[in-house]
Amino acid sequence: MQAERYNRQLILKDFGPEAQQKLANAAVLVVGAGGLGVPVLTYLNAMGVGTLGIVDNDVVALSNLHRQVIYKESDVGLSKVKTAIGALKAQNASTDFHGYGTFLTKDNALEIIAGYDLVIDATDNFPTRYLINDACVVLKKPFVYGALHGFEGQISVFNYKNGPTYRCLYPTMPKADEVPNCNEHGVLGIVPGIVGNFQALEAIKVLTGVGQVLSGKLLLFNGLGSVFQKIKFSRNPKNTKRIVLEANYDFDCEMPFASISAADFLVLNEKSQLQIIDVRTLAEFQGGHLPNSLHIPLHELVGRAQEINSDAPAYFLCQSGIRSQKAIALLQEQIPTARLIDISGGMNRLKVTI
Q: State the nearest-atom distance from the C-beta of 158 to another protein, in Å.
A: 13
Q: State the nearest-atom distance from the C-beta of 129 to another protein, in Å.
A: 7
Q: Which of 126, 158, 251, 285 binds another protein (CB under 8 A)?
A: 126
CA dihedral 183, 312, 288, 303 (to 10 degrees): -50
Contact stretch for another protein (CB under 8 A) within 21-29, 87-95, 121-129, 298-306: 121-129
Q: Is 122 in the site for another protein (CB under 8 A)?
A: yes
Q: In degrees rounded to 5, what are phi and psi of residue 206?
A: -60, -45
Query: How far lies 171's CA from each of 36, 177, 249, in Å?
Result: 23, 17, 14
Closest by CA position to 84, among listed 19, 150, 32: 32
Distance CA 42, CA 91 (A): 8
Give the contact letters, 169-208, x = binds to another protein (CB under 8 A), - = no: xxxxxxx-xxxxxx--x-x----x----------------
Under rule CB under 8 A, which residues in 138-167 are in contact with another protein? 146-150, 152-154
169 vs 335, which CB is nearer to another protein? 169
Distance CA 330, CA 326 (A): 6
195 vs 338, which CB is nearer to another protein? 195
Q: Which of 28, 37, 81, 141 binds another protein (CB under 8 A)?
A: 37
187 vs 341, which CB is nearer to another protein? 187
Give the contact letters, 290-319, x = binds to another protein (CB under 8 A), - = no: ------------------------------
Q: Which of 74, 212, 226, 229 binds another protein (CB under 8 A)?
A: 229
Q: Is 34 in the site for another protein (CB under 8 A)?
A: yes
Contact stretch for another protein (CB under 8 A) within 98-106, 108-116, 221-229, 304-312: 221-229
Q: State the nearest-atom distance from the C-beta of 192 to another protein, in Å.
A: 7
Distance CA 345, CA 175 (A): 20
- H-only helix segments in 219-321: 262-271, 282-286
- H-only helix segments in 11-125: 16-25, 37-47, 80-91, 109-113
Distance CA 38, CA 197 (A): 9
Distance CA 45, CA 49 (A): 6
97 vs 151, which CB is nearer to another protein? 151
Does residue 150 come out as left (phi exceeding 0), alpha (psi in the -120 to 50 range) or beta? left
Q: Which of 6, 22, 29, 32 binds another protein (CB under 8 A)?
A: 32
34 vs 48, which CB is nearer to another protein? 34
Helix, strand, or coil here: 292?
Answer: coil
Under rule CB under 8 A, which residues in 232-291 are in contact with another protein? 232-234
Say if residues 134 and 159 touch (Cβ distance below 8 Å): no
Q: Is 323 in the site for another protein (CB under 8 A)?
A: no
Distance CA 279, CA 284 (A): 10
182 a catalytic residue: yes
Q: Is 226 in the site for another protein (CB under 8 A)?
A: no
Q: In degrees rounded to 5, what are phi and psi of residue 38?
A: -60, -55
The residues of the shown chain that bind another protein, judged by CB under 8 A, are 32, 34-37, 122-126, 129, 146-150, 152-154, 169-175, 177-182, 185, 187, 192, 218, 220, 222, 225, 229-234
Active-site annotation, residues: 182, 318
